[in-house]
Amino acid sequence: MPTDASFQRYSFSEIFPIEAILFDIDGTLCDSDPIHYFAFREMLQEIGYNGGEPITEEFFVKNISGGHNDDLARFLFPDWDFEKAMKFMDDKETLFRRLAIDKLEPVQGLQKLCKWVDDRQLKRAAVTNAPRANAELMISLLGLADFFPVIVVGSECKRAKPYPDPYMTALDLIGASPDNTFVFEDSAAGIKAGVAAGMPVVGLRTRNPEEVLLKAGAAIVIQDFEDQKLWKELEEDERRAAAAKGV
């Protein structure tokens, strides 16, 4: 596993000028965790997990949220055959997709940010530990199918988050340098992956406490894409760019 990123973080001033942005999906573009939590809670209770008692949201946030399905299958069902455990995970993802069609909502300010990215013709990619079917559905439901030219899925890389491989793959695919790129993430695992790939990470406290995101290495933590802390950083980059051009 990557080392603790508590004392390793990057700032926006280190990436001037911004040329690319990488986005996690679950909990970053959309607040999907309540849907995942509901699906896990219902299905785990149905099979008698935890003595038939529903898992708590605290258990979900601490042990499940942001995890890769292979790892979650081993954690939740250490005594099961791995194939059987993965069948459970696949069924849970099917339930998630069915629920997401009616329940998925964008994080506040997402369209404003996407327009800012488009107006500046910045490179971008979506980078996720979610299965590809989930990722493509969520991006489609959010109306961003044309916004993202590349979707990188953790299970299709050598290693998923919290390793840096998915983010490094995304940089290669869009032809960007970590020196001019930053990341949006909502989980400690995702933040550690972005930092390990050499980039500043903006943490969204969609579901995780600010202190958890900062400890993982987030440069700043914001509530959503309307947060003035974010726009202050983006405006500062534009001021530096204008000064460099002598405007």
DSSP one-letter string for 171-214: HHHHT--GGGEEEEE-SHHHHHHHHHTT--EEEE-SSS-HHHHH
CA distance 18 to 1: 29
**pLDDT interval class at 96 (50, 70, 90):** very high
Residue 53 has pLDDT above 70, yes or no: yes
Helix axes 132-141, 82-103, angle to 10 degrees: 0
The answer to whether the bond into 166 is cis (omega within 30° of 0) is: no
For residue 125, what is the enclosing H or E element? strand 123-128
Write down the pLDDT at residue 247.
56
CA distance 148 to 225: 17
- CB distance 13 to 241 below 8 Å: no
Catalytic residue among 4, 24, 102, 186: 24
Is domain 12-31+106-244 annotated with CATH 3.30.450.20?
no
14 exposure class (CB count in 10 Å sphere: 0-12, 13-18, 19+): middle
Residue 3 has pLDDT above 50, yes or no: no
Q: For the chain, what is the mean pLDDT?
A: 93
- CB distance 39 to 96 below 8 Å: yes
Residue 129 per-residue DSSP state? S
- CB distance 186 to 28 below 8 Å: yes
- CB distance 129 to 161 below 8 Å: yes
pLDDT tens-digit readout, 229-240 = 999 999 988 888
Write out the two tokens for 63: 């042990």
Query: Is 33 in the active site?
Result: no
Show the DSSP H helices in 122-177 as ranges: 132-141, 165-174
Catalytic residue among 4, 26, 79, 81: 26
- CB distance 161 to 135 below 8 Å: no
Contacts of 39 (CB under 8 A, 6+ apart): 92, 95, 96, 99
Is the full-model pTM beyond 0.85? yes
**pLDDT interval class at 10 (50, 70, 90):** confident
Residue 59 has pLDDT above 80, yes or no: yes
pLDDT tens-digit readout, 143-159 = 999 999 999 999 999 99
Residue ranges per domain, the chain? Answer: 12-31+106-244, 33-103
Contacts of 8 (CB under 8 A, 6+ apart): 195, 217
Query: Is 24 in the active site?
Result: yes
Residue 38's CB is within 10 A of a number of other CB atoms, namely 15
pLDDT tens-digit readout, 160-218 = 999 999 999 999 999 999 999 999 999 999 999 999 999 999 999 998 899 999 999 99
Of the candidate ranges 7-21, 85-99, 166-180, 188-202, the one whose mean pLDDT is the lowest? 7-21
